[in-house]
Amino acid sequence: MHILVLGAAGMVGRKFCERLLRDGRLGKSDITKLTMHDVVEPKKPEKAGFPVETVSGDFAVPGAAEKLIAGRPDAIFHLAAIVSGEAELDFDKGYRINLDGTRMLLDAIRLVGGGYKPRVVFTSSIAVFGAPFPDAIGDEFFHTPLLSYGTQKAIGELLLADYSRRGFLDGIGIRLPTICIRPGLPNKAASGFFSNILREPLAGKEAVLPVSEDVRHWHATPRSAVGFLLHAGTMNLATVGPRRNLTMPGLSATVGEQIAALKRVAGDKVAARIKREPDPFIVGIVGGWPRNFNAKRSRELGFTTAEQTFDDIIRIHIEDELGGNFVA
């Protein structure tokens, strides 16, 4: 099996590729080649049990998608995107990457012909939903995104479903919760503070909280995100039917509940490193975000999370990223 990962240098993409390299197979199929693509060249693994190609470039320029598809990968994981805050600040860039790039990729697949029909896993977002919300958003709730990012992802979902219906590819879209705790440095995602207020204090640094503690949101760990991708790449899509886009399971929590969990796991001194500095831009964006879901359909189709409480989310970060230790 030849696997192509777009966005392989990003946090989730990197962890997903590390898992593929460790397992050497996807489901029951041995991996014979892995192509890792991003706008910056992904780090090539020193030791791999199969050929690995790293490619850098803008996949949304004419002709780029055709080159990536020329090797006819069997499974394509499309994680490449401009994140929410950046897509809101730079309208043209958000639409060019998140919408035009996705359309170019799907068309490149379609135009190969000759019976080529790869599995395409598209990472969408809960930003496809917009207020007003019920207490928990179910599988029947409609798309009314209140951000350009959510609009771009919603259009991508529709394209994926239609191209699958027409038989050009075998696609599934997974709406990821906000990934928490994200390792590494802060990025331009408007949701970044959900991780920042936990990751930085655990590392002995101060963090800024730009919203009130009653803000509620939907979360999952990087470990769960990798599990979602693996399941999406191997599941029987005949069980999904024509509705090819699913909201992934997660954990609903307020910022205050996040901080309380941090105190339980790491102590009051660590939590005291959080500084409250309201940011009207972030407050405005977060006000239109969903807060809780009933992800019944995805759970019934075999998607599961690695965490049951926010204490689990913090402990998983300490275990996976900090070697079991934190700065008290």
The pLDDT of residue 288 is 81
Same domain, 43 and 97: yes
What residues have CB less than 8 Å from 323, skipping those under 6 apart? none
298 within domain boundaries: no
Task: Identify whether the C-beta of residue 87 lies closer than 8 Å to the C-beta of residue 149.
Answer: yes
Average pLDDT, the chain: 95
Same domain, 150 and 202: no
210 within domain boundaries: yes
Averaged over 276-280, what is the pLDDT? 94
Task: Identify whether the C-beta of residue 219 lies closer than 8 Å to the C-beta of residue 177.
Answer: yes
Task: Give the other-Cβ count within 10 Å of 130's Cβ.
Answer: 18
The pLDDT of residue 148 is 95
- Which CATH number covers residue 100? 3.40.50.720
Task: Identify whether the C-beta of residue 96 lies closer than 8 Å to the C-beta of residue 83.
Answer: no
Averaged over 113-125, what is the pLDDT? 96
Amino acid of residue 128: V
By percentage, how much of the chain surpasses pLDDT 70? Answer: 99
Specify the 3-state DSSP secondary structure of 62. coil
- Cα–Cα distance measured from residue 21 to residue 132, given in angstroms and rounded to the nearest whole number: 43
- Cα–Cα distance measured from residue 304 to residue 113, given in angstroms and rounded to the nearest whole number: 35
Does 118 have pLDDT greater than 80?
A: yes
Same domain, 144 and 275: no
Amino acid of residue 163: Y
Specify the 3-state DSSP secondary structure of 59. coil
Same domain, 318 and 227: no
214 within domain boundaries: yes
| Terminal CA-CA length for the chain | 46
- Which CATH number covers residue 279? 3.90.25.10
- Cα–Cα distance measured from residue 228 to residue 216, given in angstroms and rounded to the nearest whole number: 23
- Cα–Cα distance measured from residue 288 to residue 303, given in angstroms and rounded to the nearest whole number: 26
108 within domain boundaries: yes
pLDDT tens readout for residues 174-221: 999 999 999 987 777 788 899 999 999 999 999 999 999 999 999 999
pLDDT tens readout for residues 294-309: 999 999 999 999 999 9
Averaged over 66-71, what is the pLDDT? 96
Please indicate whether residue 163 is annotated as part of the active site.
no
Where are any strands of DSSP class E within 7-87? 25-26, 29-30, 33-38, 52-56, 75-78
148 within domain boundaries: yes
296 within domain boundaries: no
Does 85 have pLDDT greater than 90?
A: no
Same domain, 121 and 211: no
The pair of three-digit structure tokens given for residue 64, joined into one six-digit string: 């780029």
Same domain, 132 and 198: no
Same domain, 240 and 91: yes
- Cα–Cα distance measured from residue 127 to residue 153, given in angstroms and rounded to the nearest whole number: 8
Same domain, 125 and 107: yes
Same domain, 48 and 157: yes
Does 223 have pLDDT greater than 90?
A: yes
Task: Identify whether the C-beta of residue 177 lies closer than 8 Å to the C-beta of residue 218.
Answer: yes
The pair of three-digit structure tokens given for residue 267, joined into one six-digit string: 């102590």
The pLDDT of residue 106 is 98
186 within domain boundaries: no
Same domain, 260 and 146: no
pLDDT tens readout for residues 144-161: 999 999 999 999 999 999
**pTM of the entire structure?**
0.94
- The residue annotated as part of the active site, out of 95, 116, 149, 163, is 149
Domain limits at 280?
192-218+251-291+307-322
Count of domains observed in the chain: 2
Averaged over 70-87, what is the pLDDT? 94
21 within domain boundaries: yes
Averaged over 28-45, what is the pLDDT? 96
Same domain, 28 and 101: yes
Same domain, 89 and 33: yes
Averaged over 68-92, what is the pLDDT? 94
